[in-house]
Structure formats: structure tokens, C-alpha cells
Amino acid sequence: MNIILLGPPGAGKGTLANKIKEEKDAVQIATGDIFRYNISNETDLGLKAKAYMDRGDLVPDELTVDLVWDAFDKIDSKDDKKIVLFDGFPRTIDQAKALDLGMKERGQKIDQVVYFDVDEDILVERISGRRVCTNCGATFHVKNNPPKVEGVCDVCGEKLIQRDDDTEKTVEKRIHVYNSQTAVLIDYYKDQGILLSIDGTNSPDEVFDEFNDKLGEIS
Ligand code: ADP
Ligand code: ADP
Ligand code: ZN
């Protein structure tokens, strides 16, 4: 089952993906994580992507689509039970079309799109307080979900950092980019009849419950 997590930066996509992975047979393809991995390993892709990310712009489609297929084609069993979560992809109409086409070529399809509805003021507060683990990628929030020891990952004990693009100035740019380039995907998937809206302002547990309830209703 192929599921897209669609929503503005800070909406809680990664947080829900982690909960789904803990409880179900699921894998996550998070383009932002793949870019950050490439940046920390100083690959060609990482060097190219960094400038766009630091500005809060989207990385060009031609650098993004192929790596999604690389990751997707590496997943071994893609039966009906296995959940593949697309987190942060697609972010443009062209990416969505490329995803539809590639799925068709593989005899697959996108089954559901989970849209996170969250107001902008909440997004800024969430992103400014986000702290991520440099080692395992676990995500915390200084107020909403603080680690047991400040600056230290509960999961693996490594250092927590603030992402370079999680500053207040870049956040506003990223929300603007989302509104101008990504939000059109809501109607794109509504027209396909596969959009499922979730109230992203609730707590992470409530978001997970709503996801399970709504998915249970249709599958
Ligand atoms: P968030 O969802 O918190 O905004 P991500 O980790 O998904 O953050 O993305 C961080 C940055 O990586 C984006 O601002 C953008 O520069 C780049 N990026 C991630 N996914 C894509 C994508 N599908 N297309 C283009 N750029 C992307
Ligand atoms: P995204 O992947 O959509 O950019 P994240 O899952 O990384 O968003 O969440 C952004 C920040 O908000 C993180 O610091 C996370 O701990 C926090 N957060 C996520 N979901 C919720 C929620 N439902 N309620 C409160 N805070 C949340
Ligand atoms: Zn960790």
C-alpha cells in the first residue's frame, strides 16, 4: 500500500511516519532526510541540494525524482500489507505526475494521500522548537515533546541539533513555497478521489488514531 503524507513544513508528517513504522510493517521515503544524508556525506547531490535547502527553496525536480525511485525500487516486498510512506514527496505537480507515471510502469498506484490540516502560526511554533537527532533522525520539540535530557536523544543518546533550515526566517519562506507550489496537490489528489484529511492540530497520538480510523474505513 502506497501512502503519501502531504502537508506544510512542521505539520507532523515525520512524527506520524515514525508512529506508523513502530506499529506496522512500513517503510518511509523522506526526500528531506535523503538530501540531509547526502549533505552530511558531502556527495555531489548533497552539495547541489544544500544551497536550495538553506534558502528554503525546493530542490529542482530533476534532482529529486530519480532518488525516490532508487529508494522505492530497493524495497523488497511490496505486497498489499507493506506500507510505503512518501514523506515530503511529491511537492510539485510535475513530481506528482512523475510519481503517477512511475507507479503505472511498475504496476502500482498511490492508494491514499493523507493531508495534514494545520494553521500557519502553529507551524512556525513547531518548526522553531524542533530538535532532531544527528544520529538516528528521531524528532523532538523543546516544549511539546522534550527529550528527557536537554540536547540528548532519548532513543540513541546522541546529540540533538536544530536543522539549518529551521530558523524563523527560512520557515516563512518554506511556508510560502508550500502555498505556492505544493498546496495545489490537495486538489490534484482530491480529484483522484484518494485524499484523506487529518486534523494535524491534535496531539501526535490523536493524529495517529485518526489516521488508523480513516484508513480502516476505506481499506
Ligand atoms: P519539512 O517537511 O519539515 O519542510 P523536509 O525535510 O521534508 O522538511 O524538507 C527539507 C527541504 O528539503 C525542503 O525545504 C526542500 O528544500 C528539500 N526537499 C525535500 N523534499 C523535496 C521535494 N520533494 N522536492 C524538492 N525539494 C525537497
Ligand atoms: P514535518 O515532518 O511535517 O516537517 P515533524 O513531524 O518533524 O513535521 O514535526 C515538527 C515539529 O512539531 C517537531 O518538533 C515535532 O516534535 C512537533 N510535532 C509533530 N507533531 C505534533 C503534534 N501533533 N502536536 C505537537 N507537536 C508536534
Ligand atoms: Zn538518536
- 141-169 tens-digit pLDDT: 999 999 999 999 999 999 999 999 998 88
Phi, psi of 182 (to 5 degrees): -105, -35
Distance from the alpha carbon of residue 104 to the mean position of ligand 2, in angstroms = 32
Residue-level pLDDT at 81: 80
Contacts of 192 (CB under 8 A, 6+ apart): 110
- pLDDT by residue (tens digit) across 26-43? 999 999 999 999 999 999
CB 46, CB 10: distance < 8 Å: no
Predicted local confidence at residue 219, as pLDDT = 61
Q: Return the ligand 2 atom nearest residue 132 CA.
A: 14
Question: Which residues does 17 contact at the CB level (< 8 Å), separation at least 6?
Answer: 5, 26, 28, 30, 85, 87
Confirm whether 91 is a catalytic residue: yes
Q: What is the mean pLDDT of residues 197-216?
A: 95
- pTM for this prediction: 0.96
What percent of the chain is predicted at pLDDT more than 90? Answer: 91
Task: Determine whether the shortest distance from the Cβ of 56 to ligand 2 is under 6 A.
Answer: no
Residues 6+ apart with CB under 8 A from 178: 8, 9, 91
Q: How confident is the model at residue 137 (pLDDT cuts 50, 70, 90)?
A: confident
Q: Which of 21, 131, 144 to mutate to test the pocket of ligand 2 (most atoms within 8 A of CB)?
A: 144
Cβ proximity of 133 and 158 under 8 Å: yes
**Residue from 91, 100, 93, 114 nearest 26 by CA:** 114
For ligand 1, atom 9, the nearest C-alpha belongs to: 32
Ligand nearest to the CA of 137: 3
CA 151, CA 159: separation in Å to the nearest integer? 6
Grade residue 184 by pLDDT with cuts at 50, 70 and 90: very high
Q: What is the pLDDT of residues 76-102, one digit of tens each?
A: 777 778 999 999 999 999 999 999 999
> What rounded mean pLDDT belongs to the chain?
95
Q: What is the pLDDT of residue 188?
A: 98
Residue 15 grid cell? 512524527
Query: Exactly one of 13, 36, 50, 131 is catalytic; which is it?
Result: 13
Q: Would you say 54 and 164 are in contact if contact means Cβ atoms under 8 Å apart? A: yes
Give me the helices (H) in 75-167, please: 93-105, 120-128
**% of the chain with per-residue pLDDT over 70:** 99
Ligand 1 atom nearest residue 174's Cα: 14
Return the pLDDT at 190: 98
In the chain, where does DSSP find H-type helix? 13-23, 31-40, 44-55, 61-74, 93-105, 120-128, 168-177, 184-191, 204-218
- Residue 131 falls in the annotated catalytic set: no
37 lines ligand 1 (CB under 6 A): no
What would the grid cell of residue 185 be? Answer: 496537490
* Residue 199 and residue 115 in contact, taking contact as beta carbons nearer than 8 Å: no
pLDDT in tens, 43-72: 999 999 999 999 999 999 999 999 999 999
Q: Are 132 and 161 contacting, i.e. CB atoms less than 8 angstroms apart?
A: yes
Helix and strand totals (H; E) in the chain? 9, 8
Give the ligand 1 atom nearest the CA of 33.
Answer: 6
Residue 218 has pLDDT above 70, yes or no: no
Q: Is 126 a catalytic residue?
A: no
Ligand 1 pocket, residue 35 CB under 6 Å: yes
Rounded-to-integer distance, Cα 126 and Cα 172, Å: 12
Q: Are 31 and 68 in contact (CB under 8 A)?
A: yes
Nearest atom of ligand 2 to the alpha carbon of 145? 16
Distance, in Å, from the CA atom of 151 to the CA atom of 218, rounded to the nearest integer, reads 41
- Ligand 1 pocket test: pick from 68, 171, 174 the residue with the most ligand atoms within 8 Å of its Cβ: 174
